[in-house]
Amino acid sequence: MASGSYGFGSTEIIVNADDGFYSDIRDQGIVSCLSTVDRGVSDVSVLMNGAVAKSLLSCPDHKRPQMSSLFSHISRNRHIPGLHFNLTEGKPLSKTKFVRSLLNDHGYFLGKHGFRRKLVFSGIHMNEVEVELESQINAFRDVFGTIPSHFDGHQHVHVLPGIDMVVARVISRLGIKWIRVPIEYIPETSCCITESEINFYREVSDQAMKAKEIFSSYSLKYTQKFIGMALMGKSQTMESLDRSLSSFENCKNVEFMVHPGYRTIKHTNESNNLEGCGDPDGPDIFSQSSDREHEMFFLTSDEFKDYLIVHNYELLKFSDLS
């Protein structure tokens, strides 16, 4: 039985859609999850170097709702999203000369594994991480007029050694209170998760354990539990969700990380400026996968919404938490 049915009160659950502003087609799917009656997604975090964000930054305020389905929905509902801090995909918002250690020879971020390899060999300059972090926060402020309601990292970059300290220092100073701590039990095997993915998720969890101490030292808040890495794509089923939530006893709140949306289409030219983070090859394989639509349909299903009701989960945004 899921933890939400234990005790006298409900368990708060934040179902957070990552990768907002990556592309408008992805965003349309996220909006469908946010808009559904008894919605299946309660919050979202956005990529400020995503194609949609860049289009919003370049147009007048009054035209922004026409440029983005997600921005339009957020504005109508007075919803302040989170920031999905990105150091691994696409182009930076900072000028190249100020963040050279974060980039390859062509001016693009180094990728999930490339960034981590360079970090291990002390090739990443933390002052440059801070420059790009502040650029992304400033861009968020330009679009929304305020600071993010919460903070997480694209491909969990925010819990990497050294990055965690920069993040904690900067966002605590700015008054951003909630941060993701992706500590999750990862099964030994799974029909839908590769061995390399299992190893990566375990590495992230180990790093998050250490980052948690740093975040706490800066008085940052985080949910008591986290799920989502082992529940991505086709692994997102009622059985696997119940297995994850049932392992938590007397849990006050939990964040469920999700990646729903309509999948993007591969483009080989630069004419499509509302897809991805600016990589020359266009949107990545993850965004093109049918897994994105699988998650969207799962999260808007009656079965998922009924599960939350039956097990006494209260669906909230980060801004609703005390």
- How does strand 178-179 pair with strand 150-153? parallel
pLDDT at 5: 45
Indicate the SS3 state at residue 233: helix
Contacts of residue 224, defined as CB under 8 A and 6 or more positions apart, other chains included, come to 248, 251, 252, 253, 254
pLDDT at 250: 87
pLDDT at 7: 45
pLDDT in tens, 289-316: 899 999 999 999 999 999 999 999 999 9
Would you say how long the chain is, in residues?
322
Is 204's pLDDT higher than 80? Answer: yes
Is 148's pLDDT higher than 60? Answer: yes
Of 210, 208, 197, the residue nearest 157 (C-alpha): 208
pLDDT at 173: 98
pLDDT in tens, 245-272: 999 988 999 999 999 999 988 765 454 5
Of 251, 240, 245, 298, the residue nearest 1 (C-alpha): 245
User: CA 163, CA 151: separation in Å to the nearest integer?
Assistant: 13
Domain encompassing residue 251: 3-320
Of 275, 277, 252, the residue nearest 3 (C-alpha): 252
Angle at 102 between CA 101 and CA 104, to 5 degrees: 90
Is 3's pLDDT higher than 60? Answer: no
User: CA 89, CA 154: separation in Å to the nearest integer?
Assistant: 8
Q: Given the structure tokens 């302040």, which residue do they identify? A: 80
Is 205's pLDDT higher than 60? Answer: yes
Contacts of residue 297, defined as CB under 8 A and 6 or more positions apart, other chains included, come to none
- We report the CATH number of the domain holding residue 195 as 3.20.20.370
- Over range 92-113, report the average pLDDT: 98
DSSP per-residue codes, 59-121: S-GGGHHHH-HHHHHHHHTT---EEEE-SSSS--SS-GGG-GGGB-TTS-B--HHHHHHHHHT
Is 61's pLDDT higher than 70? Answer: yes
Is 6's pLDDT higher than 50? Answer: no
Question: What's the whole-number average pLDDT of the chain?
Answer: 93
pLDDT at 284: 87
pLDDT at 139: 99
pLDDT at 273: 55
Least confident of 159-163, 285-289, 312-316: 285-289
Q: How many domains does the chain have?
A: 1
Contacts of residue 157, defined as CB under 8 A and 6 or more positions apart, other chains included, come to 85, 86, 87, 88, 115, 163
Q: In Å, how far from its chain's centre is CA 286?
A: 14
Is 1's pLDDT higher than 60? Answer: no
Q: What is the DSSP letter of 5?
A: G
To the nearest 10 degrees (0 to 180), the angle between helices 302-310 and 238-246 is 20
Contacts of residue 236, defined as CB under 8 A and 6 or more positions apart, other chains included, come to 258, 294, 295, 298
pLDDT in tens, 272-282: 556 889 888 77
Least confident of 94-98, 179-183, 242-246: 242-246
Please state, for a pLDDT cut of 70, what percent of the chain lies above it: 94
Spatial contact of 35 and 299, defined as CB atoms under 8 Å apart: no
